[in-house]
């Protein structure tokens, strides 16, 4: 593709040979080495205002498995069997629930935020009550969901909350701190190479409760609460020192990365007014892709639109379609009621290219390809629509480039 959906851009280890040699000279490659622990402290100070604590992990899926396990182990044994979550998400959260012998209980989403609908979530809490072991909200595409509501859910229902914030590292909330700051439950972020905070493979768990992070640290090290002695359930979820170096290097340049991505998404929104976008809430949202919705009348023509874009050398995606409840394994291993909004959003989602080195010219080219594809569909299907074409000179004169 001339313009790919993503172009991974982690820090270059080849330009950090001296720091790699320091790892070799120390001969500490894992087991909470100095780089891993140092990164945890740095990111707490830089993103979370020095409040709470963080744990580095090998990847975010393992982090979700651990965080859900810690959450359900923090309560007396019970017959609670459900993990309440939206279906419009990546499969990792639902898989983490299954690894903890829980059944995903899917609720519908809000049309403007793509996150769990407050009314539907509340309906599920009232209907299933004591059968729900954990609530796992998803901060869709890095969205700044209202965590104060989940603090209230924990208190009112005595049900722990684990936030799947896979793409949210870099999102800034209205309190001017990183998304999740101060939340008493666990917030799980991904540092996969395709995310805004790209390393190679890695994850991070934050909590405003440092004791929770201490427990998760023990669990991520085979449950060793004493030297070489397991005192609780655990597995190996530790981050390597090389991965921690990549994370540390990314943190050094991350502010510029976020400013760049924010500018490009704003340009997409300006150039594609016929598409729908997430309601803007946060001071700054971390974006993995530019996630948009096609107009309702174009849903059944999405593949034709994507094919035309591909013919012009423009890649696209459909995150998350099919949504989790539509996937083969979870059709047989989950519970849900009607999901009309989820079904609608998933049928119209169109993920557009976004990457660190993307230029304004490339955004204009993508937007033009989308509009050409829409006009072709209008002409061939007899639909009604007016989709403009843009060039960079027009964009610059409008003051958006």
pLDDT of residue 396: 41
Residue 49 phi/psi, 5° resolution?
Answer: 65, 20
C-alpha pair distances (Å), 329 with each of 98, 132, 133, 325: 11, 21, 21, 9
Sign of the CA dihedral 244, 249, 253, 257? negative
pLDDT at 256: 96
**Same CATH topology for 13-249 and 254-397?**
no
Calpha distance 41→37 (Å, rounded):
6
Q: How far apart are CA 19 and CA 38, in angstroms?
A: 14
Nearest CA to 3 out of 388, 312, 395 is that of: 312
pLDDT on residue 76: 74
Q: Angle at the Cα of 53 (from 62 to 56), degrees rounded to 5?
A: 30
Distances (CA, A) of 132 to 81, 89, 102: 6, 19, 9
Residue 205, strand partner residues: 55, 188
**Strand 229-230 with 224-226, pairing:** antiparallel
**Closest among 47, 109, 84 to 161, alpha carbons compared:** 84
Instruction: Tell if the pTM clears 0.85, that is, is over it.
Output: yes
β-strands 103-107, 82-86: how paired? Answer: parallel
Which pLDDT does position 281 carry in this prediction? 84
At residue 383, the pLDDT reads 64
Q: For residues 12 and 373, what is the distance between their CA atoms, to the nearest angstrom?
A: 37
Cβ(298)–Cβ(377) under 8 Å?
yes
**Mean pLDDT for the chain?**
94
The fold adopted by the segment(s) 254-397 is 3.90.1150
**pLDDT < 50 stretches in the chain:** 388, 390-401
* Strands in 67-209 per DSSP E: 82-86, 103-107, 132-135, 162-164, 186-190, 203-207
**CA 147/CA 281 separation, integer angstroms:** 13
CA dihedral of residues 257, 258, 263, 264 (deg, nearest 10): 70
**What sections of 29-138 are H helices per DSSP?**
34-47, 60-73, 91-99, 118-128
pLDDT the model gives residue 385:
54
Domain residue extents for the chain: 13-249, 254-397
- What angle do helix axes 241-271 and 17-26 make, rounded to 10 degrees? 150
Beta strand residue intervals within 137-250, DSSP E:
162-164, 186-190, 203-207, 224-226, 229-230
User: Which CATH number does 13-249 carry?
Assistant: 3.40.640.10
């Amino acid at each position: 593709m001339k313009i790919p959906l993503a172009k991974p851009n982690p820090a270059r280890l080849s330009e950090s040979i001296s720091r790699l040699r320091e790892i070799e000279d120390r001969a500490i490659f894992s087991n909470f080495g100095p780089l891993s622990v140092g990164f945890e402290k740095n990111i707490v100070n830089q993103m979370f205002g020095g409040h709470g604590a963080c744990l580095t992990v090998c990847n975010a899926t393992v982090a979700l498995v651990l965080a859900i396990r810690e959450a359900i182990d923090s309560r007396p044994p019970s017959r609670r069997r459900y993990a309440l979550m939206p279906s419009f998400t990546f499969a990792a959260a639902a898989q983490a629930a299954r690894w903890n012998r829980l059944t995903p209980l899917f609720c519908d989403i809000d049309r403007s935020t793509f996150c769990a609908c407050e009314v539907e979530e509340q309906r599920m809490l009232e209907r299933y009550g004591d059968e729900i072991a954990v609530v796992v909200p998803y901060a869709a595409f890095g969205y700044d969901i209202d965590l104060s509501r989940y603090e209230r859910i924990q208190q009112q229902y005595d049900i722990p909350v684990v936030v799947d914030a896979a793409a949210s590292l870099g999102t800034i909330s209205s309190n001017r701190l990183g998304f999740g700051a101060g939340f008493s439950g666990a917030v799980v972020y991904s540092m996969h190479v395709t995310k805004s905070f790209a390393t190679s493979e890695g994850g991070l768990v934050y909590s405003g409760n440092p004791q929770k992070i201490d427990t998760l640290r023990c669990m991520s090290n085979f449950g060793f609460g004493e030297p070489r002695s397991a005192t609780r359930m655990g597995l190996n979820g530790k981050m390597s020192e090389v991965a921690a170096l990549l994370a540390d290097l990314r943190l050094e340049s991350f502010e510029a990365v976020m400013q760049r991505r924010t500018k490009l998404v704003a340009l997409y929104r300006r150039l594609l007014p016929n598409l729908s976008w997430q309601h803007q809430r946060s001071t700054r949202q971390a974006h993995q892709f530019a996630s948009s919705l096609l107009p309702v009348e174009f849903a059944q023509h999405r593949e034709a639109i994507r094919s035309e874009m591909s013919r012009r050398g423009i890649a696209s995606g459909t995150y998350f379609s099919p949504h989790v409840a539509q996937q083969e394994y979870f059709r047989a291993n989950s519970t849900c009621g009607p999901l009309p909004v989820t079904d609608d959003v998933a049928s119209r989602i169109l993920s557009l290219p976004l990457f660190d080195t993307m230029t304004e010219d490339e955004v204009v080219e993508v937007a033009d390809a989308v509009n050409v594809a829409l006009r072709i569909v209008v002409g061939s299907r007899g639909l009604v629509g007016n989709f403009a074409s843009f060039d960079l000179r027009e964009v610059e004169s409008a003051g958006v480039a």
